[in-house]
Amino acid sequence: MSETPLLQVERLVKHFPAKRGVLFQRIIGTVKAVDDITFDVRAGETVGVVGESGCGKSTMGRLVLRLIEPTSGKVTFDGHDVRELNRERLRVLRRDMQIIFQDPYASLNPRLSVGEMLAEPLRLHGGMSGAPMKARIDELLTTVGLSSWHALRYPHEFSGGQRQRLGISRALATRPKLIVCDEPVSALDVSIQAQVINLLKSLQKRFGIAYIFIAHDLAVVRHISDRVAVMYLGRIVEMADKKALFGRPMHPYTRALLAAAPVADPTAPKKAAPIEGDIPSPLRPPSGCTFHTRCPFAQERCKRDVPELRTLAAGHTVACHFAESLPSADDIAARAAPYAGRLAAYRRAVAQARAA
C-alpha cells in the first residue's frame, strides 16, 4: 500500500437549506450534513467510515465524487482539484472514481440486460465496441464470480448477493483507482455479506483499488478497513488505524459505539456504557461539542467550545477537549470486572425465574 494520498479532503462542508411549506417553500434553517471534514485516502487502502444513521457519511461519499456540489472545502484526487474541473474533465476523471450503492437493484436499470449495462461505461469511457467489448464484459462477470452467460439476463433474475456483484462489476468496468462503497452489504444476509466483503478484499489485492467503505456495522468495518473514521453529526470525531481505534478508542462516542456492538460473550465486561438517547437533529445541532448532550464526561466547556480534531498519537486524531484525561477504556473494564461475575449470575437467576 502506498503512503502517498490518492485522495485528499480538506475542510469539506455541505449545508442543505431546510424548507417548509408545499407551494411557497420557506427556508427555515440549514442542515449541516457535512461540517468541516478533513482526511485522506492512500492508494490501495481501505478507509472505513462509521456512525449512526444521519451522521453524514453517505453525503460525504457523494461529495468526494462530486455527485453533489460541496458548500466549501477542497477535494484533491490524483493531483486534480475535483471542484475546479469542468464537465468534460470531470467525466474523464470519473473513470478512476466509482461508487457501489447499498441497494443494487435500485441502482441497476431494469430495462437493460447485464451485457447492455456493462457496455455503457465501456463505450463511454473506454471507446470499446464489438469483440473486445464482449471479451471485457465476460472478464468482468467472471472477475466478480458470475458467468459470461449472465450477460443476457436482466437484474430481476438475480438474487440480492448476485445483484451486488453486478454493481461491483459495473464499478470495475473502468478500472478505477478509488471506489466509494456506500453501505454495500447492509441489505444482504450475513452469509452473503461475508462473500461480498471477501470479494472486495480480493479485488483490492488484485487491482490495488482504494476503498472508502461506509457502513454502520462495526464488525464489517473492522474486517475490511486499514484505517477507520468515526463520524457524528457531520464531523469526524476520531480517526486512526484499525488496531488503534478498536484496541484503544479515545473519543467517548467511539467507546459507546463499540460498547453497543453485539459481542459473542454477553457476560464479557463492557469497556464503556452503551450510548443512550437519539442523535440530535442536524437542523439544530447542540452548541460546542455536538456530542455533549449524550456524553457521560461532558463538562461546561463542552457546551461552549467546538473541539478541534487533534493528533494524540501517530496517525490517531480525536476531537475531544478531554480525550487525554478521560479514564481509559481498560480502566473502566478493570473497575467493572469484579461485578461481571455477579451480573452474569444475576442474569442467569432472572432467566431461570422467568422459565420456571
C-alpha cell at 86: 469542468
C-alpha cell at 65: 465524487
- Nearer Cβ to ligand SF4 (173/256): 256
Single-letter amino acid code for the residue at 329: A
- Nearer Cβ to ligand SF4 (157/308): 308
- Contact between 307 and ligand SF4 per CB under 6 A: yes
- Contact between 292 and ligand SF4 per CB under 6 A: yes
Closest approach of ligand SF4 to the CB of residue 317, in Å = 14
Closest approach of ligand SF4 to the CB of residue 222, in Å = 22
CA 210 vs CA 58, 111, 202, 236, 335: distances in Å: 17, 31, 12, 20, 41
Among 138, 291, 317, 329, binds ligand SF4 (CB under 6 A): 291
Among 118, 298, 309, 332, binds ligand SF4 (CB under 6 A): 298
- Nearer Cβ to ligand SF4 (150/255): 255
Closest approach of ligand SF4 to the CB of residue 331, in Å = 16
- Contact between 252 and ligand SF4 per CB under 6 A: yes
Instruction: Output the CA torsion sign for 234, 42, 216, 322.
Output: negative
In whole angstroms, give the CA distance from residue 1 to residue 263.
Answer: 31
Q: Rounded to 5 degrees, what are φ and ψ at 163? A: -65, -40
- Contact between 7 and ligand SF4 per CB under 6 A: no
- Contact between 295 and ligand SF4 per CB under 6 A: yes
Closest approach of ligand SF4 to the CB of residue 262, in Å = 24
In whole angstroms, give the CA distance from residue 85 to residue 72.
Answer: 15
- Contact between 285 and ligand SF4 per CB under 6 A: no
Which residue from 119, 116, 125, 60 is spatially nearest to 88, judged by alpha carbons? 125
- Nearer Cβ to ligand SF4 (91/284): 284
Are 55 and 64 spatial neighbours (Cβ–Cβ below 8 Å)? no
> CB under 6 A: which stretch of 86-94, 218-226, 288-296, 348-356 binds ligand SF4?
288-296
Are 212 and 65 spatial neighbours (Cβ–Cβ below 8 Å)? no
DSSP letters of 270-288? PSSPPP-SPPPPTTSPPSS
Closest approach of ligand SF4 to the CB of residue 321, in Å = 4
In whole angstroms, give the CA distance from residue 247 to residue 25.
Answer: 48
Residues that bind ligand SF4 in the complex, under the rule CB under 6 A: 252, 289, 291-292, 295, 297-298, 302, 307, 320-322
